[in-house]
A and B are shown apart, each in its own frame.
Chain A
Amino acid sequence: MTLDALHLARLQFAFTVAVHIIFPAISIGLAGFLVVLEGAWLKTRDGAYKDMYFFWSKVFAVGFGMGVVSGVVMAYEFGTNWAGFSTVAGAITGPLLTYEVLTAFFLEAGFLGVMLFGWGRVGERAHFFATLMVATGTLISTFWILASNSFMQTPQGYAIVDGKIVPVDWLKVIFNPSFPFRLAHMTVASYIVAAFLVAACGAYQLARGRRDLPVKRSFSMALWMLVVLTPVQIFIGDAHGLNTREYQPAKIAGIEGLWETEHGGTSLNLVGLPDMETEPTRYAIKVPHLGSVILTHSWDGEIKGLKSFPPEDRPYSPIIFWSFRLMAGLGVLMLLMSLVGLVLRRGGRIYETRWFQYWVFCMGPSGLLALIAGWVTTEVGRQPWTVYGVLRTVDSASPLDAQQVGTSLLTFVIVYLLVFGTGVFYMLKLMKQGPAASDANAPAKAPHPALERNALTRANVAIDR
C-alpha cells in the first residue's frame, strides 16, 4: 500500500494529537493533586504538603508548557490538513473550540503565572485561588473538547443545509449521547495518569531508601487515589461500552473482531487476528456467551457482526481489536495493583515491600499507555467517518499533495522528538530527584544513611548532565 496524501494527513493528525494528549492528561491530573496539596497545607500548616506542592508544581509547569505548544498545532491543523472537515463541520466544531479557548485556556494561562511565579507576590489565599483556577480551567477544557469530539462520534441536534452541517439545538449538540460517558472516562483517566506518575515517583524514591514524609505521603496519597479510581473507571468504561454498542455498533463489532451476528448468545474473542480481507478472526480463542454478558449484560443478548455492515462502512478491526485489549488488560492490572497496595497497608508494609515498589515503578507509564490505547480504539473505531454517518474521512481532507503533507509530517516528527523528547526527559529527571525533604520532616533514623544523605544533597540536578 502506498501512502497517499489522505493517509499521511491521518498519520500526522494521529501523531500530533497522541503526543499532545499526553501533556493535558498529566496537567489535568496534577492540577487536581496540587489543589489538594495546597489546600491541605493551608489547613494543616504541615510543611511536607508545601514541599510536595513545590515539587509537583515544577513537574506540572513543564507538562503544561508542553501542552500549550503542542496544542497550538492542533488549533491550526484542522484548517491546514482538514479543510473539507472545517468547511462542512466548522459551524459546530468552531464555536465549541472557541468556548474552550475562552473559558478554559485563558483561565489557565491567566492564573498560571501567579501559580508558578507569584509565591510571595500575592497572599496565600490568592495563590491558592490561582491554583484552583488553573485546575478548574483544565476541567473546563476537558468538557468542551470532549463535547466536540463526542459530536463527531454521535452527532445530533444538527441539520444539513447546502452540504454543510448547521446547528439546530446547541444543547443537543453538546450533550450528545456519548458525551457524558466520554467526559467521565477521560477525566478519570487523566487523574489515573497523574496518580500513576506520582505513585511511581514515590516508589522509586522509596526503593532508593528515602523515607521522609513528602515521599511517603506522595506514594500513599497516589495509591489511595488509585484504589478509588480504578474500579470507578472500569465501571464507567463498561457503561461507555453499552453506549457505543447502541450508537456505533460497527465499532463494537470491530473491537470484538465479530464477523457474524450470532444468535442466542455471542461469544467473546479473547485473542485473535481479525482479517479484513477474508473476513474471519483467525487464531481466535473464544469464550461462549461472554460477549453478550459484557456488552449487553444478559446471557444471550445479540451483537451485530461486521458482516451486517457494508465493507466501506467498517472500521479497521485489527488495530482496534488489539488497542482495546491493551487498554482493558492494563485496567485489570491497575486494579490488581491497587488492591495489593490496600492489603499491604496493614502493618505499614506498604513502604517496605520492595517487590511492590518495583511493580508500582514499572506501572508508572501504564496510565498514559492505557489512555492512548483508548483513544486509538475510539478514533480508529470511528472510521471511515470523521463525523459518524455524516461526513467521510475521504471527503474531509485539504486539497494538498502527498509531498506537502509528507514534508510537514516529517517536520513535526523531528521537531516533536527533539522538543517533547527533551521535555519528557526533563520531567523524568525531576521525578528522579524527588521532592525536597526538609530536615524537620525527615525521620530520626534513616534505614540507609548513605542513601539518605545522597538523596538529600542532590539539589538542582541539571537536565543535561
Chain B
Amino acid sequence: MSTENNFDHLLGIKGLSQSQIQTIFETADNFKSLLNSPVKKTPALRDTTIANLFFENSTRTRVSFELAEKRLGADVVNFSSSSSSVKKGETLIDTVNNILSMKVDMVVMRHPAPGACLFLAKHVNAQIVNAGDGTHEHPTQALLDAYSIREKFGEVAGKKVVIVGDILHSRVALSNIYCLQTLGAEVMVCGPVTLIPKNIEKLGIKVSHNLNQALQWCDVANMLRIQLERQDQRYFPSLKEYSKLYGLSQDRLDHLNKEICIMHPGPINRGVEITSDIADSNHSIILQQVENGVAIRMAVLFLLAQNNR
C-alpha cells in the first residue's frame, strides 16, 4: 500500500502510515458488524478474481483469506505448492504469470522466502497481498493483532505489549513491532538470548530475557510458537526447559498483581509456550483474534480492489 488511502499492494506493515492502518481498522469495523448480521455476504468484489498461492503450510490464514474473499463476493482459486508444477521445476514468476493469464486480479501469497512478495510485485501485473514471506513479515496477522488490542482496550496508543518466544524466526513479531509502534504502543520482546535477533533494540523496542519481569511490565502478552521447522540448529537445550523458563502458566499469572491480556497468533503448541488452562481462559483473546482476522482481511482486500482497475 502506498500513499494516503491509496492501496496498491500489501507487502508489509513497514511503510504503512498510521492513517492507512486506521482506515483499514475503520473499514474492518464495518465488516465485523456485517459478519455479525444474518446475511454475511456482500457483492463488493463480485467482478474480482483472487488467487491464493500458498507455498507453505497454513490453516488459519488460508481459510481466513478464503472466507474473506468469498464473503466479499470474489471468485477464488486456490493453489498449494505440494500439488503443483512447482514440483516439476517451474519458477515463481512463470507459475504466477500462468495463473494471471487466466484473468486473475489479485494474488494472496505465502512463501518461505523473505521478500518473495516484493519480488512478485515488481515482476507481475497484479496486486499482491503478503500472507507471510519467510521470516520477514505477516502484515494481516499484525493488523488483526493490533485490531484485537484496540477492540479490547479501546485504543492501541500507550499500551505495553510484550512479544514472547521465537522472535528470530518470527514474521509475526516483526510485523507486530512495526504495526504497534506506528499506532503508538510500547513494545518489548522476550525470549532466550539465542532466539532474539542481535541489535533488535535498534528498532526502538525493549528486550528482556526474564518472562516474569516482562509480564509485570506489560498490558498484553503475545505468545509465539517455537518455529521448529525454521530452526537449522538447536537454540535451547530442550522444549521442557524452554517451557519452564518462557512458557505462560497459571502459576506465573498468579504471581502478577494485575490482569493482563493474552494473545497467540496460532497454531498453539499447548504445554510449550502456553498451558491449556491459560489459552482457554477469559484472559485470552485468541479466538477473537481469529474472528477479527476475517474482518481485517476483508477490509484489506476491499481497499486494494478499489485500485485494481
State whether these chains interact.
Answer: no
- Which residues of B approach A to under 8 Å, CB–CB? none
